[in-house]
Chain A
Amino acid sequence: MATVEAAGVSKSYNGRTVLAKLDLAMTDGELICLLGPSGCGKTTLLRIIAGFVTPDAGRVLVAGTDVTALPASARRMGMVFQSYSLFPNMTARDNVRFGPRVGKVPLAEQHKRADRLLEMVGLASHAGKYPHQLSGGQQQRVALARALAVQPQVLLLDEPLSALDAKVRAQLRDEIRRIQRETGVTTVLVTHDQEEALSISDRVAVMNEGRLLQVATPSQIYREPADGFVARFIGAAAVLPGVTEDGKVRVGQIVLHAEAARQHAAGKQVDLFLRPEHVRLEQLNGHMPPDGVAADVGDTTFFGSLTRMRLTLADGQIIWADLPSEQAEQFKPGSRVLARWDAESPRVIPRG
Chain B
Amino acid sequence: MKRLGVGGWIILALAAVYFIGPLVLTVIFSLWEGRGHYGISAYVTLLQRPNIVRSLVVSVELALATCAALVVLLVPAMVFMNLYAPRLRPLFEFIAALPFVVPAIALVAGLSALFSGPEWLIGTPFYLVIPYFFLALPYAYRAIDVGIRAIDLTTLTEAGQSLGADMGQIIRLIVLPNLRTALVGSTLLTLAVVMGEFTFANVLLFHTFAVLINEVGQNAPTEAAALSTLSFLITWLAMAGVLLAGRRGGVQLSGAR
Contacts and interface: CB of A to CB of B under 8 A. Distances in A.
A136 interface: yes
Contacts, number: 92
Contact of A73 (B152, B165, B256): B165
Contact of B165 (A75, A98, A135): A98
A89 B256 CA distance: 14
Given A84-B256, A88-B253, A136-B256, A71 B161 contact: yes
Interface in A94-141: 98-99, 102-103, 130-136, 139
Interface string B135-162: 0000000000000000110011011111
Given A132-B254, A132-B257, A103 B155 contact: no
B178 A135 contact: no
A132 B165 contact: no
Contacts of B163: 73, 78, 98-99, 102, 146-147, 149-150
A78 B162 CA distance: 6
Contact of A85 (B156, B165, B177, B178): B156
Interface string B36-76: 00000000000000000000000000000000000000000
Contacts of A149: 163
B181 to A, nearest CB: 11
A119 B170 CA distance: 27
B215 interface: no
Nearest to A130: B252
Contacts of A102: 160, 163-166, 169, 173
B256 A134 contact: yes
Interface string B167-188: 0010001100110100000000
Interface in B161-219: 161-166, 169, 173-174, 177-178, 180
B254 A77 contact: no
A79 B253 contact: no
A75 B166 CA distance: 12
B251 interface: yes
B255 interface: yes
Chain B interface size, as a band, is 20 to 34
B162 A50 contact: yes
A87 B158 contact: no
Nearest to A131: B256
A75 B165 CA distance: 11
A72 B162 contact: yes
Given A132-B252, A132-B254, A134-B256, A83 B151 contact: no
- Bin the interface of chain A by size: 35 or more
A50 B142 CA distance: 34
Contact of B158 (A81, A84, A135): A81
B94 to A, nearest CB: 26
Given A85-B156, A87-B156, A73 B164 contact: yes
A52 interface: yes
B162 A73 contact: yes
A76 B164 contact: yes
A134 B252 CA distance: 12
Contacts of B164: 73-74, 76, 99, 102-103, 150
B174 A89 contact: yes
A89 B155 contact: no
A143 B160 CA distance: 12
Contacts of B257: 132-135
A88 B178 contact: yes
B133 to A, nearest CB: 27
A288 B159 CA distance: 63
Nearest to A77: B162
A72 B253 contact: no
B159 A139 contact: no
Interface string B217-251: 00000000000000000000000000000000001
B155 A83 contact: yes
B178 A79 contact: no
Given A88-B251, A102-B169, A150-B163, A79 B158 contact: yes
B174 A147 contact: no
Contacts of B256: 84, 131-132, 134-136, 139
Contacts of B252: 88, 130, 132
A79 B177 contact: no
A80 to B, nearest CB: 9
A79 B254 contact: no
A117 to B, nearest CB: 13
Nearest to A139: B256
B152 A85 contact: yes
Interface string B86-123: 00000000000000000000000000000000000000
A307 B161 CA distance: 48
Interface string A175-195: 000000000000000000000
A77 B162 CA distance: 6
Given A77-B162, A98-B165, A85 B255 contact: no
Nearest to B163: A99
19 contacts: A73-B161, A73-B162, A73-B164, A73-B165, A76-B164, A79-B158, A81-B159, A83-B152, A83-B155, A85-B155, A87-B156, A88-B151, A88-B253, A89-B174, A89-B178, A89-B251, A102-B165, A132-B253, A146-B159
Smallest CB-CB A-B distances: 3 pairs: A99-B163, A89-B177, A136-B256
Interface of B: 151-152, 155-156, 158-166, 169, 173-174, 177-178, 180, 251-257
Interface of A: 50-52, 71-79, 81, 83-89, 98-99, 102-103, 130-136, 139, 143, 146-147, 149-150, 156
